[in-house]
Structure 1
Amino acid sequence: MEFFFCFLLLSAHLLLASSLVQFQDNGLTPKQVSIHLEVHHGQSQLNHSTTSSLEFFSPKILEKDEQRVEAIRSRFSNKNLSNIKPELVSTPLKSGLSIGSGNYYVKLGVGTPPQYSSLIVDTGSSLSWLQCQPCKGSCHPQVDPLFNPSRSKTFKKFPCSSPSCSSLKESTLNDPGCEVGSGACVYREAYGDSSFSIGYLSQDVLSLTPSETLPGFVYGCGQNNQGLFGKSSGILGLGHDKLSALAQLSTKYGYAFSYCLPTSFSASKPSKGGYLSIGSSSLAKSPFKFTPMVKNPKIPSLYSIDLTAITVAGRPLGIAASSYKVPTIVDSGTVITRLPMPVYTALKEAFVKIMSKKYKPTEGISILDTCFEGRAKEIVNVPEIGMIFQGGAALPLNGHNTLIELDEKTTCLAIAGSSGTNPIAIIGNYQQQTFNVAFDISNSKIGFAPAGCE
C-alpha cells in the first residue's frame, strides 16, 4: 500500500551527526548515568573542498527556514492543519534534496542485531522514525543502508487497537491510519518545510552503544518519506511528549539532556566537535544559568522560554518591555533566529549604527536584510549582541554567532524579523552554536553555558 501525505505542520530539523558513541558510567546509579554522543554539523556529509558557504547558506535554504517558521507561527495561532487524509499515488514521489542541511545528526542502532542509522535529532517533534525497506512509496537518498525489518528478530508493528497507536494524535497532531487487511497502525508525520514521513508505527530495540540498549523502543518505520533530511536515515524526536525518544529514555537516565552544536564550516570561528548527552547527570558538567520553561498549552511539546531584553555592545535596545512578550522557543532546527518586528527593527538600527562606521551596508538576500560588504573573516570587532532571558540566563553572541557569509562579497546578520498578525520569537541553531544548552525537563528549566564544545 502506497501513501502520499502532503501538508504543513510544525518541525525543526536538528541534523545530528555522530562518528563515535561513548557510554559514561562513573559508578553512578541508573538515573545518574548519561549517554554521551559526538555531534557534528550535517554539512560534514558533503565534500568541503568543493562546497562553498554560498552553496550552503543559499536563498533556497533560507526560504525553507522561513517555511518552517511560518508553520510554527500557524500552530501558535490555532490554525487547524491536522486531520488531512492521505492520498494514494501511482508513482513514487521525488526523493528529498541531496544537498546538505543546516543542522546536525547522530548515529544509533535499531533492531536485533542492530542496524545503525544516521538520525536527525529534532527538539521540535516527538515521534522518531527511520526509512525502512521496502519503501512502498518513496525513500530519499541516505548514507547508511536502509533499515530492513525482516533482519531484526525483535521488530514488531503496532495494531490499530494499541494504546501507542492512539497516542499518535497527541504526538503528531494527525489521526493515525489503519492499513486495510493487516490492521497495522499507520503514522503520518509532517514538517513545516513540506517534508513528511508515512509508515508503520513499530517497536524494536534501540542501541545507544553495543552494551546500552532500550527494549521496546517505539518509532515509525517509514515507507514514504520526502523532504529536507539531507542524507540522514530519519529523525530522533526529542520533543516534550510521551512518545518521544527522550521520554522513553528518561525512565533509565532521567528526564534531561544537553548539547553543544559546533560551528558550521563556513563560520568565521570554527569550533571543536559537539555532543549530545542524554540523562540528568549531563547537567552537572557546565556552569549553567537557567531560565524557567514556559508552559504553552497550544504547543506543549516545544521548549518555550521568556526573552526579556536584548543588548548591543552592552546597551539595551531602549524599547518597551511589552515588545518582547511573544511566544518564544529554543529550536535547534530553525537556523536563523527570529524576533518580533519591533525588537528586530531596534536591533538592526543599533547594530548598523556601529558596523557602518567601518563596513559598507549592502543589499540583503532572502530573509536577511542587515548585510555588509566583505567576507566574514575580514569583519572584526563585531559588537556583542546579548539575549537575556527571565531569571538572568543569557546568550552573549559574538561574530561567529551573529554573522553569516552568503557569498564572497556579502556577510549578513544571522537574525531576521518575525512579522504577521501572530509574531513569535525563535532562538535558532546559529545563535546556539558553541554554547552548552541544557534542557532540564524534570525541573522545567533551560540553561546556557559558554564554551560548551571545548
Structure 2
Amino acid sequence: MQQNKMSLFGFLVFFAYLAIASSLVEVEDNDLRNKQAGMQLNLYHVTGLDSSLKSTSPFSFSDMFIKDEERVRSLHSRLVNHSDTTASSDKVEGPKLVNTPLKSGLSIGSGNYYAKMGIGTPAKYFSMLVDTGSSLSWLQCQPCVIYCHAQVDPVFNPSTSKTYKTFPCSSSQCSSLKGSTLNAPTCSSGSGACVYKASYGDTSFSLGYLSQDVLTLSPSETLSSFVFGCGQDNQGLFGKSAGILGLANDKLSMFAQVSSKHGYAFSYCLPTSFSAPNSSNKGFLSIGSSSITSTSSYKFTPLVKNPMLPTLYGLDLTAITVGGKPLGLAASSYKVPTIIDSGTVITRLPMPVYTALKNSFVRIMSKKYAQAPGISILDTCFKGNVKEMSEVPEIQMIFGGGADLPLKAHNTLIELDKGVTCLAIAGSSENNPIAIIGNYQQQTFKVAYDVANSKIGFAAGGCQ
C-alpha cells in the first residue's frame, strides 16, 4: 500500500483458510540475531501464534478481493500518471481541520503481514503492517483528535515518551513528504508542526503530525532519530494493526532509515498458513547487506525503476510457462509496468497473458478435476480440496537476467469454499494494463531486495 495506495460470500473462518492472510513478525530479543552487516527477525504466521491479532469478526474473501482490486487500480494510476492530488500547503489548524471524509473503520483481518516495533522512551511495542509499497511509516497516536480504529495494542501516547518531538514545517523532512506520500504537507497554524497525509488506493488514509522518536527493534537494536507519522485520523483497511511500516525505496521509509546503518538491502520469506512442502510456518524479515549474502542460491533480476514512481520495486517479466510449456505469446505481451508488492494479495497479469495462462492451466487441470463457477475476481476454479490435488501443473514466471519463480500448488491454488479451489492469479483490466507479483505467489520463497546494486533475487527452499 504505497501512499496514494472490507458480502456475497459468507466465509466465516478467515484465518483457517487464508494462506494470503496476516502474519506477524514478532520481535523478541532472543529471536533477534544481529549479524555483521544486518539483523534478522523471526516471522510467524498469525495462525501459529496465540495472538490477539486474530479477528473475531467474520471475514469475506469477496470484500478482500474488491479492496485488492482497488489497490491495483490505484497502483496503475500512479505508475502511468504521477500527479499531485492535494491542494497547496496552506496553513491549517492541525489535522482536525483538513477536509477528509469521516467513516467508520472495520476491525477485521488483513491480507498483509505484521511486524512488531518499539517506539519512544521507554519503548512501547506495536503491531505494524509491513509493506514494500509504502514509504512513510505511521502509527495511531493519542489523543486521536478525529478517529483511531480498534487495535490490539494500546494506542501510542507521545506525552509518555521522553524523546518524542514533531517536525516544523520548515524542516527538510517535511519538504520530503510530497515525494514520499504523493500528498503535499500542510502546516498547523498554532504550533507550526508539519502535517502529513498518507492516502491509499482502497480509500484508507492516515492524517497526523510528522514526528521523530527512538525506534526499538530489540533492547540492543535501536534507531535514535526515526522519522514517522503520528496519526490523529486513521481510517480504513488496517485490521487491528497500529499502522504501516514502510519498506519502499524512499529516504523516509523505515528500510532506508535502518539501512543507513546496516546496508541498503533486505530480504524476507512469507510463510503460509498451512504446511507447504519443504517449508515451515515460520518466516523472517532481514535488513542489511548480510541478508542477501547468506543464501548463495538466489537468482537475480535487475531492479526496474519506473520514472513515474521510483519508490516501487519494478521487475522485467519476460515469459511464463505452464507445465513446462511456454504460453506462446509475443514478447511484447509482457511489456507492461510490472512491480513486486507485499501489499497486493493476488498476482495480476495483463489480460492477454492471463487468458493464455488460464487456458493452458484449465487444459491440464480439467483432465482430472471438474470446473466450478468463479468467485469474485478469481474466475478459474475447480471442484476439489487443494490439499488433495496432486496433479497441479507448475507455473513458472521468468524474469530478465534468468531469475524465475517456479510456483507449486501452494502458490497457485487457494480453497475459497469447502470443495471449491481457485487459481490465485487474476487478469488486470484492459484499461489497466499492469502486472503485480502479489504476496500469495511470494510465499515460502526467499525474496532479496539488493537496492544498493539494483537487483531483486528469488530462492526456493522455504522459510527455514
TM-score when normalising by structure 1: 0.91
Instruction: Answer yes or no: is 1:369 the counterpart of 2:372.
Output: no
Q: One-letter code of the match for 1:19?
A: E
Q: Is the 8 A contact 1:9 1:71 kept in 2?
A: no
SS in 1 for 2:318: strand
How many residues are matched? 438
Q: One-letter code of the match for 2:26?
A: S
* Structure 2 CA distance for aligned equivalents of residues 166 and 183 of structure 1: 14
Deviations 1:88-133 (A, max 9, x none): 4899944432111111101010101101101111110100001111
Q: Aligned residue for 2:25?
A: 18
Change (3 A) 1:14 1:83: farther
Q: Aligned residue for 1:35?
A: 39
Q: Is the 8 A contact 1:10 1:68 kept in 2?
A: no
Instruction: Answer yes or no: is 1:67 the counterpart of 2:74.
Output: no
1:410 CA displacement: 1.4
Q: Is the 8 A contact 2:279 2:444 kept in 1?
A: no
1:10 CA displacement: 3.9
1:211 CA displacement: 1.5
1:205 aligned to which of 214, 222, 226: 214
Deviations 1:175-211 (A, max 9, x none): 1011121111000001111111000000000001112
1:290 CA displacement: 0.3
Q: Aligned residue for 2:436?
A: 426
Deviations 1:267-323 (A, max 9, x none): 899732111001110112221100000121011000001000100011111111110
1:375 CA displacement: 2.0
* Structure 2 CA distance for aligned equivalents of residues 151 and 92 of structure 1: 30
Q: Is the 8 A contact 2:274 2:281 kept in 1?
A: no
Q: Is the 8 A contact 2:350 2:430 kept in 1?
A: no
Q: Is the 8 A contact 1:337 1:430 kept in 2?
A: yes
Q: One-letter code of the match for 1:388?
A: I
SS in 1 for 2:452: coil
Change (3 A) 1:92 1:302: closer
Q: Aligned residue for 1:439?
A: 449
Instruction: Answer yes or no: is 1:449 the counterpart of 2:453.
Output: no
2:288 aligned to which of 271, 279, 293: 279
SS in 1 for 2:339: strand
* Structure 2 CA distance for aligned equivalents of residues 87 and 193 of structure 1: 22
2:85 aligned to which of 79, 82, 99: 82
Change (3 A) 1:56 1:318: farther
Q: Aligned residue for 1:104?
A: 113
Matches within 5 A, 1:287-436: 287-436=297-446
Instruction: Answer yes or no: is 1:232 the counterpart of 2:241.
Output: yes
* Structure 2 CA distance for aligned equivalents of residues 422 and 328 of structure 1: 12
Q: CA RMSD in A?
A: 2.5
1:40 CA displacement: 2.9
Q: Is the 8 A contact 1:337 1:426 kept in 2?
A: yes
Give the unaligned 5+ runs of structure 2.
6-19, 89-94
* Structure 2 CA distance for aligned equivalents of residues 373 and 47 of structure 1: 32
Instruction: Answer yes or no: is 1:254 the counterpart of 2:263.
Output: yes
Q: Percent identity?
A: 65
Q: Aligned residue for 2:158?
A: 149
Q: Is the 8 A contact 1:95 1:141 kept in 2?
A: no
SS in 2 for 1:372: strand
Instruction: Answer yes or no: is 1:245 the counterpart of 2:248.
Output: no
Instruction: Answer yes or no: is 1:174 the counterpart of 2:178.
Output: no
* Structure 2 CA distance for aligned equivalents of residues 16 and 160 of structure 1: 36
Q: Is the 8 A contact 2:275 2:281 kept in 1?
A: no
Change (3 A) 1:118 1:201: same
Change (3 A) 1:148 1:265: farther
Q: Is the 8 A contact 1:39 1:104 kept in 2?
A: no
* Structure 1 CA distance for aligned equivalents of residues 217 and 3 of structure 2: 29
Q: One-letter code of the match for 1:20?
A: V
TM-score when normalising by structure 2: 0.89
Change (3 A) 1:90 1:386: closer
Q: Is the 8 A contact 1:269 1:400 kept in 2?
A: no
**Which stretch of structure 1 is more off in the superposition, 208-217 or 370-379?**
370-379
* Structure 2 CA distance for aligned equivalents of residues 299 and 211 of structure 1: 35
**Which stretch of structure 1 is more off in the superposition, 264-273 or 118-127?**
264-273
* Structure 1 CA distance for aligned equivalents of residues 354 and 213 of structure 2: 46
Q: Is the 8 A contact 2:33 2:41 kept in 1?
A: no
1:250 CA displacement: 1.3
Q: Is the 8 A contact 2:73 2:432 kept in 1?
A: no
Deviations 1:155-184 (A, max 9, x none): 000011111001100100111011121111
Q: Is the 8 A contact 1:92 1:137 kept in 2?
A: no
**Which stretch of structure 1 is more off in the superposition, 141-150 or 419-428?**
419-428
SS in 2 for 1:124: coil
Change (3 A) 1:47 1:16: closer
1:265 CA displacement: 4.7
Q: Is the 8 A contact 2:411 2:443 kept in 1?
A: yes
Q: Aligned residue for 1:165?
A: 174
Change (3 A) 1:449 1:372: same
Change (3 A) 1:422 1:87: farther
Q: Aligned residue for 1:4?
A: none
